[in-house]
Amino acid sequence: MTATRTPARPAALGRLVPLALAGALVATAIAYPLVSGTARNVVSWTIVLLGATLSVAHAAVSRGLRTGVGVLVVVALTAIAFESVGLATGYPYGSYTYSDALGPTLLGVPFLVPLAWLMMAWPSWLLAGHLADGRVARIAWAAAVFAAWDVVLDPQMVQAGYWTWAHPSPGLPGIDTVPLTNLAGWLLAGAVLMTLLDLLVARTGQPPRTGPAGPLLALGWMTLGGALAHAGWLGLPGSAAWGAALAVPVLAVLAARRRRR
């Protein structure tokens, strides 16, 4: 009797896609502080595209195609709404302007910006599910993680010349290029967006069919790895210190919850 090999199921292979994308994102992010000029712009765009694709792919693989498409639509529309209002009025972030380096725009918002939100939002929502159980607490954690991620990334993007703040002071200690109003705006936008994502998953989703390793790897590298790059290569010690400090309560809560289980 001849033994036959069972072919790999497409679903099983599909679960490898988020991990592959996360690996590509990490490899690309490592290159960021090592290049400059146009090459750095290309690396930035590639990171965002990989991160956005990772979020949609993971949502679709883990919770179904409707959820993946829903995450894309909800995050993109929310990002455009907040960013276009922010550009026009200065609220809720403060007054800022984008440079031409980010490419084509919609309502003044570069296309890459909603994709950057997408890269950040879904991993933040997933991590919050490991930090809290109730809906309100989960949304609060997700919004806080979402905003904390920007604390690390925003000074890097200002340094790269992608946008400029009209009134960067007062800011967090050690960060003199980004105002505190930006952090307040991200917390507000995060609370709205994470509420919408929570409702979306509750309506369209199903129990996850694969773990969050890919998105959480991307989130961890872009914050802690980003902080390392800020300290060692980019000359941004303030945002590096804040990135490390903001990771402490997250890691402490994760460790405590793991011990209880």
In a domain, 3, yes or no: no
Between the alpha carbon of residue 236 and those of residues 64, 172, 231, 243, 246, the distances in Å are: 40, 13, 6, 11, 16
In a domain, 6, yes or no: no
CA angle 66, 67, 69 (to 5 degrees): 65
Asked if residue 194 lies in contact with residue 139, where contact means CB atoms within 8 angstroms, the answer is yes
The pLDDT of residue 42 is above 70 = yes
Name the domain count of the chain.
1
Asked if residue 138 lies in contact with residue 198, where contact means CB atoms within 8 angstroms, the answer is yes
Query: Which pLDDT score, from 0 to 100, does residue 130 have?
Result: 94
Asked if residue 150 lies in contact with residue 178, where contact means CB atoms within 8 angstroms, the answer is no
Q: How does residue 13 score in pLDDT terms, banded at 50, 70 and 90?
A: low
Query: Which pLDDT score, from 0 to 100, does residue 4 have?
Result: 46
Mean pLDDT (whole number) for 225-244: 96
In a domain, 110, yes or no: yes
Between the alpha carbon of residue 92 and those of residues 76, 188, 194, the distances in Å are: 18, 8, 17
In a domain, 73, yes or no: yes
In this predicted model, what pLDDT tens digit does every residue of 94-139 receive, in sequence order? 999 999 999 999 999 999 999 999 999 999 999 999 999 999 999 9
- Domain containing 142: what range? 13-260
In a domain, 229, yes or no: yes
The pLDDT of residue 176 is above 90 = yes
In a domain, 187, yes or no: yes
Helix (H, G, I), strand (E, B) or coil at 61: helix
* Neighbour tally for 254: CB within 10 Å: 13
In a domain, 151, yes or no: yes
Residues in the chain: 261
Query: Which pLDDT score, from 0 to 100, does residue 10 have?
Result: 54
In a domain, 7, yes or no: no
